[in-house]
Amino acid sequence: MVPRSAVHDKKVYICTLENRLEIRPVAVEFNMADMAVLSQGLKEGETLVLADLMPAVQGMLLKPVPSCHG
């Protein structure tokens, strides 16, 4: 489960270990309130970008900031 706002046209933004943006397609099984349940495309331990990047360019350098959500 991820926040619905983190899914952009059936894609999510991942921050790689090199702090680069990876835009990856995902399979959304269903939406529930403000959450989306994914069945493919995201692996445990990966860093999901929650911000809405404008523009979102594959490979762009990111400056990660920890989320205040626990």
| Percentage helix, strand, coil for the chain under 3-state DSSP, each rounded to 5 | 5, 40, 55
Query: Which of 8, 7, 3, 14 lies closest to 44, judged by CA?
Result: 14
What is the 8-class DSSP label of residue 10? S
In a domain, 57, yes or no: no
In a domain, 56, yes or no: no
Which residues form the domain of 32?
Answer: 2-48
In a domain, 62, yes or no: no
In a domain, 40, yes or no: yes
The pLDDT score that the predictor gives to residue 32 is 93
pLDDT < 50 stretches in the chain: none
Count of structural domains within the chain? 1
Give, rounded to a whole angstrom, the gap between the first and last alpha carbons of the chain. Answer: 14
CATH of the domain at 27: 2.40.420.20
The pLDDT score that the predictor gives to residue 29 is 96
In a domain, 63, yes or no: no
For the entire predicted model, the pTM comes to: 0.88
